[in-house]
Amino acid sequence: MTEIVKASLENGVQKIRITADKGYHPAHIQLQKGIPAEITFHRTTPSNCYKEILFEEEGILEPIGVDEEKVIRFTPQELGQHDFSCGMKMQKGSYTVVEKTRKSLSLLQRFWITSIFTVPLVILMIGMSTGGISHQVMRWGTFLATTPIMLVAGGPYIQSAWASFKKHNANMDTLVALGTLVAYFYSLVALFAGLPVYFESAAFIFFFVLMGAVFEEKMRKNTSQAVEKLLDLQAKTAEVLREDNYVQVPLEQVKVGDLIRVRPGEKIAVDGVVVEGISSIDESMVTGESLPVDKTVGDTVIGSTINNSGTLVFRAEKVGSETVLAQIVDFVKKAQTSRAPIQDLTDKISGIFVPAVVILGIVTFWVWFVLLRDSVVVLGASFVSSLLYGVAVLIIACPCALGLATPTALMVGTGRSAKMGVLLKNGTVLQEIQKVQTIVFDKTGTLTEGKPVVTDIIGDEVEVLGLAASLEEASQHPLAEAVVKRASEAGLELQTVENFQALHGKGVSGQINGKQVLLGNAKMLDGMNISSTYQEKLEELEKEAKTVVFLAVENEIKGLLALQDIPKENAKLAISQLKKRGLKTVMLTGDNAGVARAIADQIGIEEVIAGVLPEEKAHEIHKLQAAGKVAFVGDGINDAPALSVADVGIAMGAGTDIAIESADLVLTTNNLLGVVRAFDMSKKTFHRILLNLFWAFIYNVAGIPIAAGVFSGVGLALNPELAGLAMAFSSVSVLTSSLLLNFSKID
């Protein structure tokens, strides 16, 4: 029978350690549903098979070096057995997710119970100060009110501190647990020895700490509202064709292939393709684009977007977790629960900081009680006063705010980014993007529209375009669509073509109104006379890297058409904005140098690397990385290797699945200004993390001398209760700082 090892629960987190050495030890573990998990992998073998840890269902793939430890963090949600493995899937383990084994009091419940028992403490203190309550009643009353608080509120903190101590570590809870236990047990001894008691110090510390934690929990929920709001966008029902009638069915009953009708003002239920009707659709909640998008037969529609004008019938293509919205939600969830590398630094700081503070608390007590006891009266302190100074140091120094600085900013930043059409896969992107010096763009489909348009018509526009479009209507060539589209936009009526022929490598021919009409390149002219005017125009247009075709009627040239894949609408603005931010821009394309250079000049890109085969793109990225960090923006299958090797890979939302999978950051819209927003939002989020860390650290550093009584001579001191309040305030202030990211200005 396979042995399944249960993860241990420490302060609300499931923890287990796995060694990778000729298999996983333990190979099978048990986790509880809905409780955050931390799985520490220790790789001891040099085998390549263990160089990456894969939790495929959670979207986690993390590298791990030999004799290195890697902590994998996620919250298990799906019951049953799941696999983890090396990146190559050759060495597998499993984790079984079960329901929570025991119920414990929630944070809010603990806070309310603590609040109830804090009320009599306040009454006792008021009564004592007014003379209405005797000293003896006060002593025993505070004992009776504080003891339940220690059991209910203190239990989780004490358990967490003890678990850390057994592993020769100290965590944030260690300081709270030590401070309150010292105050409580001293008072317990003092109660029977007839000395002053300070039970209320321990009680009020827990009250303020829990109050801060409750605020923190509420604000954490506010930070993750982006996901909830995205989920709220989903349509709840759909009007589906069933047995020749359209009927309302719940969204979960919609299947791929169903025909769905959507009326004006209604939400589109799932992703699909229009089969009937014309309308405009508001896609802003998914793509971030404010203008409605026109849709007709053959166009794709996105679930949860709003149908504005006409009635549409579309065929369901993607349902459930496969829809664009579901994938966005998944993206955001994974990003919000990921870690930025800077968080590892925070953990290391906390690991050193906590033991240092414990020592400082002991030193504070010793200085006051031993060194200063017989000094000047103002400075001198009794055992009790010395003890309270030491306890205050332990409480004020609790680095809770330090631990909140990174994850809260990350949650808010990724949530807001999602609303703007920028999806971050993980927290590492936020840190890496700060170091990017060069941003490389694919050309076709990324910087350009990806299909040619008619840019110039030389000759009689109506005649040349009308005849050309009439011929091209029967052609399957990519250029034909552009010519026909331009004629349609001009409102020209197409003529009947007889004896149509497609001449490979040359062009097309046919008879229109009894006359032989040719449309093609110079090879088709076959000795026809090209006037100097047309020759000059030809050379001029070819210098601009445009594709030029001739139109001839009865062997007489009537005009020229020039076609080109044009830059996207905001490409020039996006490039100029990136340059303003100090980034070097490069175009990397498989197209010829002339065409690439022409597009680059139009939009302001400095460097062009052209004629590159798909498999060479990654190599070119590596060469650019020698000069600094590189971001790559692409959309096609051929871009996947470059997206993977770049320090930051950015995929256009309309790109292929493999490109999106290979990227670190995905734009849900094809607007290149999304790249600028991605850089700006990432930088603002990371800078907010740094600001949070700064204030959290400064708060602790400034508070410790006050708590230690350094300024007591001038009347400035912190008792343990106030230290607890101050600690709670520091956590709330960091959370508030993170929430302010929602209001940061982004162009």
Write out the catalytic residue numbers: 442
β-pair partners for 301: 272
- Could you identify the residue written with the tokens 């608080």? 149
- Whether 540 and 534 have beta carbons less than 8 Å apart is answered as no
Strands (E), 44-179: 52-55, 60-63, 68-74, 80-86, 92-98
For tokens 């927003």, what's the residue?
A: 677
Number of Cβ atoms within 10 Å of the Cβ of 135? 8
Residue 328 to residue 85: CA distance in whole angstroms:
26
The answer to whether 662 and 281 are in contact (CB under 8 A) is no
- Candidates 203, 254, 325, 367; CA nearest to 720 is 203
**3-class secondary structure, 561:** strand
Nearby residues of 214 by Cβ (< 8 Å), 6 or more positions away: 107, 108, 111
Q: What is residue 434's DSSP assignment?
A: G
> Letter for the amino acid at 211?
M
SS3 281: strand
Q: Is 614:644 a contact under the CB 8 Å cutoff? A: no
Q: In whole angstroms, give the CA distance from residue 552 to residue 311.
A: 45
In whole angstroms, what is the distance from residue 640 CA to residue 388 CA? 61
Question: Bridge-partner residues for 649, per DSSP?
Answer: 632
Q: At what angle do helices 199-223 and 107-130 cross, to 10 degrees?
A: 140
Pairwise CA distance, residues 454 & 548, whole Å = 10
Q: Where does residue 677 fall: left (phi above 0), alpha (psi -120 to 50 degrees), or beta otherwise? A: alpha
The sign of the torsion formed by the CA atoms of 692, 695, 701, 705 equals: negative
Find where tokens 């040359």 sit. 506
Q: How many helices (H) does the chain have, and how many strands (E)?
A: 22, 33
DSSP state of 379: T
